[in-house]
């Protein structure tokens, strides 16, 4: 990778329709203070994964792409799943699914975290993980209902850290 220089996407790089949407969108601000602090090393912590790629298993309903503002539901994904079985239901036309369809670890790096656990980089992986659909433009119910429900389940499981894989 000699000569590789990572660059940040710029607003002017977007298609006109997407740029107009972003420029007009009424983004919310959130106060994350005081924020969560991991009180011990990752090598001693239980971890779960959360993806916003709209992932689901074949026997689970896909995310509803027709809901105005976005489908704020979530899918519980068992820790024993084979990432090759994952399906994507994502409404964003900006989400190029090509790579994720070839290797789901790009949007849900479960295999990589299994390897990390084997090497002692984390203590253990949770028995369940979660997926949301990205591109939610009306996040009210996500913030007031879905996300707190998932957080409650993670607390019940005694998860100490979460890795968010945004899509």
- Rounded distance, CA 70 to CA 75, Å? 14
Q: Is residue 124 part of a domain?
A: yes
Between β-strands 74-78 and 124-125, what pairing exists: parallel, antiparallel or unpaired? Answer: unpaired
Q: Is residue 26 part of a domain?
A: no
Q: Is residue 137 part of a domain?
A: yes
Instruction: Give the structural domain span for 82.
Output: 46-165
Beta bridge pairs of residue 113:
none
Residue 56, both tokens: 């689901």
Beta bridge pairs of residue 51:
131, 165
Total domains, the chain: 1
List pLDDT tens digits, range 49-72. Answer: 999 999 999 999 999 999 998 999
Tens of each residue's pLDDT in the chain, 167 residues: 456 666 667 888 888 887 888 888 887 777 766 677 888 999 999 999 999 999 999 999 999 999 998 999 999 999 999 999 999 888 776 667 777 778 888 889 999 999 999 999 999 999 999 999 988 888 889 999 999 999 999 999 999 999 999 87
Q: Is residue 136 part of a domain?
A: yes
- Rounded distance, CA 6 to CA 28, Å? 28
| SS3 at position 124 | strand
Residue spans of beta strands (DSSP E) within the chain: 46-51, 55-56, 74-78, 87-88, 124-125, 128-132, 161-165
Q: Is residue 25 part of a domain?
A: no
Is the pTM for the entire model greater than 0.75?
A: yes
């Amino acid at each position: 990778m000699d000569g590789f220089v990572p660059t940040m996407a710029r607003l002017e790089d977007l298609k006109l329709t997407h740029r107009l949407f972003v420029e007009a969108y009424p983004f919310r601000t959130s106060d994350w203070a005081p924020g969560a602090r991991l009180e011990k090393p990752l090598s001693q912590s239980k971890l779960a994964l959360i993806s916003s790629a709209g992932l689901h298993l074949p026997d689970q309903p896909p995310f509803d792409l027709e809901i105005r503002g976005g489908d704020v539901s979530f899918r519980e994904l068992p820790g024993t799943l084979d990432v090759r079985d994952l399906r994507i239901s994502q409404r964003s036309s900006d989400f190029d699914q090509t790579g994720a369809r070839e290797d789901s670890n790009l949007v849900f790096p479960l295999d990589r975290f299994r390897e990390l656990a084997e090497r002692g980089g984390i203590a253990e992986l949770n028995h369940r993980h979660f997926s949301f659909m990205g591109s939610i433009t009306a996040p009210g119910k996500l913030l007031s209902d879905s996300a707190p429900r998932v957080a409650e389940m993670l607390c019940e499981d005694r998860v100490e850290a979460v890795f968010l894989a945004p899509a």
